[in-house]
Amino acid sequence: MSGGRLRIGAARADEFDALGQLLVDVYTRLEGFPGPDEQPRYYALLANIGQFTRKPQVQLLAAHDTEDRLLGGVVYFGDMAHYGSGGIAGTLTEASGIRLLGVAPAARGMGVGRALTEACILRARERGHARVVLHTTRAMQVAWGMYERLGFARAPALDFMQGDLAVFGFSLELGIGPSAGPIP
């Protein structure tokens, strides 16, 4: 799907529930990823994805096709203090964050995940941030590969455990803003 056939923008309040259900469906299908019984708080977070919009400098982005079908979404954090994951990511300054990216199964392979990620990178550049950080797991190999193709590199200092699940940090250095140096 070409960029002209995809529209990325702020999710509308009337689609928060649908986007939350899309994300629950996507994450439930990930082979090797904990299910709702194992991580109920995480799945509640996905289902209620619209709650993130109440935090300052946080945007819930949605991808739509030309017929306005919801194809996926992601949460962009312009202030890492609101990132809300484990580990040290929430203490980073001069950084933007990406969390909870999901693409509807029928839209996979159409560039939706890439377009959502690039929209977040653009927002970070507009803020003058030095880097964009995100987390992923081994069960998310498709996303992992996409992030690496976009220039994200492993940032082991950002790794943490979510219960029994290893969560791996990544960083994309933007080459702008104050020289933050490597993540400690």
Note whether residue 122 is domain-resident. Answer: yes
pTM above 0.85, yes or no: yes
Note whether residue 184 is domain-resident. Answer: no
Residue 18: domain span: 3-173
Note whether residue 179 is domain-resident. Answer: no
Note whether residue 183 is domain-resident. Answer: no
> How high is the pLDDT of residue 121?
98
Amino acid (1-letter code) at residue 78:
G
Note whether residue 153 is domain-resident. Answer: yes
Tell me the per-residue pLDDT of 133-174, one tens digit each, with 9 for 90 and over: 999 999 999 999 999 999 999 999 999 998 889 999 999 999
CATH number at residue 147: 3.40.630.30
Note whether residue 106 is domain-resident. Answer: yes
Number of structural domains found in the chain: 1
Note whether residue 93 is domain-resident. Answer: yes
Note whether residue 70 is domain-resident. Answer: yes
